[in-house]
With several copies, the nearest count.
Chain A
Amino acid sequence: MTPREQTIERPTSVWPWITMGVAGTVTFIASMAVGPDAVQGQLSRIMYVHVPAAWLAYLAFFVTMAASAMYLWRKDLAWDRRAASSAEIGVVFTGLAIGLGMIWAKPTWGVWWTWDARLTLTAIMFFVYLGYLALRRTTTDLNARAKRSAILGVLAVVQVPLVHFSVVWWRTLHQPPTLLKPEPIDMDTSMLVTLGIAVVSFTVMYVAMMFKRIELARLEDEITEMQQTADVPIAGEAVTAPALERGA
């Protein structure tokens, strides 16, 4: 078998980068434009990143779940790439929410971290999806990898409702839901609008990142595929005829 000449085209699309930049800028301007909170002062501006980051992590993990289910149904590796890309972005957003939360916690609660159901469960969510990404590195066979991670991708999503409702179930330090709850919303309109803008911008950013990441994932898979059809040693050639009677 002669090694085949194969090349991979370079990714060229730039618009996702532009979109991400614009969305980031919009979030920044909006959070600076709104007045400081009555109680929390300037600190409250953290919220416009902390909260959308957490929500977009939720969205990303739901997309991972849906794409994983689609993979299990259709056995199409494209769905696997979507699931993985979304999980990776979700991990970034979760990390952002945790990091900002910790920065926020130090001045308000006096500690970086504490025993709190939401904090703990958010951390578990973070680690479970980090584990999802680590798991993908343990196998090189694309289909086996896709199957395993799809199973995890579907099941891990139960984390999301757990994190969301944890503040209701264990009444502890963290803020209970102010927006995503059955009762009417009681929040300053300007803050609400700013939060809305931030959430929309984050969503746009998520979509743009998804496009870029999926493109990259496709190229990675192509490279893996090429490596796997490349020539490798024959297993049976490791075995030779025994050398009888050495020296004796």
Chain B
Amino acid sequence: MIENPPVARLDGVSVRAGNVQILRDIDLTIDPGDALGVFGANGAGKTTILRVLATLQPTATGSVEVLGADATADERFTVRPRIGYIGHVPALYPELTLAENLGFFARSRGLDESVAASALADVGLAGAADRRADRCSHGMQRRAEFARILVSSPVFLLLDEPHSALDADAVDLVDAIVHRTVDQGGAAVLVSHDRARVRSLATRTVEIEGGILR
């Protein structure tokens, strides 16, 4: 049996912005089945690493390979729909209802709007489907972001502080989503300050300090 190719590989990656260096010489390999916990102080570069893995962040040096595609080449466009990224800030359109937001997302993946409706029900927001996103509480908006993950079932999950703003029930939902993805041969990266919870969920953890991985 041949070995599975890695889900993502960073090789000597550094990122600069303005006149500061955010990441320095990052080497990192994420294999199928990995659930990687990333810890580190505020401003250390955790979000930036997630954006590099999402192929959204231009790098200064090094090579980035995600789901078999070179992230600096046009190939990245073909793998992006298989990446699920949740950032610090909800990406919903405030004037649209939750159903419309998710429906837009589902249709952009060529899926039916009913998929969106059932994903909303799965995260416990069926009753708020017709509420405008900007009239939903912060935690409800975060939940809707997770519904997006349920709609597209990505193989590579990139979650920035996934447990924040979620109540106890919803936290379990996150864990279930991570488990399911990893069990099906995908991978997940979890950035968090809640070490205890992420340690129990992750298969391994790394620490980032001043832009360097330890």
Using a CB–CB cutoff of 8 Å, the interface residues on chain A facing chain B are 1, 228-229, 231-246, 248
Query: Mind listing 23 A-B residue pairs with CB under 8 Å?
Result: A229-B60, A229-B61, A232-B16, A232-B19, A232-B21, A234-B20, A234-B24, A235-B211, A236-B40, A236-B43, A238-B43, A238-B127, A239-B43, A239-B44, A240-B126, A241-B170, A242-B122, A242-B124, A243-B121, A243-B122, A243-B124, A244-B172, A245-B180
Docked Cα-Cα span, A241 to B121, in Å, equals 10
Interface of chain A, helix or strand or loop or mixed? loop
CB atoms of A239 and B124 under 8 A apart? yes
Residues of A within 8 A of B211 (CB): 234-236
Interface string of B38-60 (1 = CB under 8 A from A): 00111111000000000000001
Q: B172 contacts which chain A residues (CB < 8 A)?
A: 242, 244
Partner pick for A239 among B16, B19, B128, CB 8 A cutoff: B128
Q: B209 and A228: CB pair below 8 A?
A: no
Known: A241-B169, A242-B172. A235 touches B124 (CB 8 A): no
Given A243-B121, A244-B173, A246-B122, CB of A236 within 8 Å of CB of B180: no
* B189 interface hit (Cβ, 8 Å): no
Given contacts A228-B16, A239-B42, A242-B172, contact A233 B131 (CB under 8 A): no
Q: Given A242-B123, A242-B170, decide whether A233 and B176 contact each other with a Cβ distance below 8 A.
A: no
- Give Cα distance in the complex from A237 to B137, angstroms: 12
Instruction: Report how far A245 CA is from B20 CA in the complex, Å.
Output: 31
| C-alpha spacing A248/B183, complex, angstroms | 10
How far is it, in angstroms, between the C-alpha of A244 and the C-alpha of B45 when the chains are bound?
24
Contact assessment for A241 and B45 in the assembled complex, using a CB-CB cutoff below 8 Å: no
Distance between Cα atoms of A82 and B3 in the complex (Å): 48
Residues in B whose Cβ lies below 8 Å from that of A243: 121-122, 124
Could you tell me which residues of chain B, from 15 to 33, have a CB within 8 Å of some CB in chain A? Answer: 16-17, 19-22, 24
- Give residues 122-152 of B contacting A (CB, 8 Å): 122-128, 131, 140, 143
A242 CA to B125 CA, complexed, in Å:
8
State whether A236 and B19 are in contact (beta carbons under 8 Å apart), knowing that A241-B124, A241-B169, A242-B122 are contacts in the complex.
no
Cβ contacts under 8 Å, B21 to chain A: 231-235
Indicate whether B210 reaches chain A with its CB closer than 8 angstroms: yes
A241 to B125 alpha-carbon distance, docked (Å): 9
Q: CB-nearest residue of chain B relative to A231?
A: B21
Closest to A144 in B: B58
B210 touches A236 (CB 8 A): yes
Q: Flag if B124 contacts A236 (CB, 8 Å).
A: no
Known A-B contacts: A228-B16, A238-B127, A239-B125. Give 7 more (CB < 8 A): A229-B60, A233-B20, A234-B210, A235-B43, A238-B131, A242-B123, A242-B143
Cα of A242 to Cα of B45 in the assembled complex, Å: 18
Q: Contact partner of A236 among B41, B123, B126, B170, CB < 8 A?
A: B41
- What's the nearest-Cβ distance from chain A to residue B209, in Å? 7
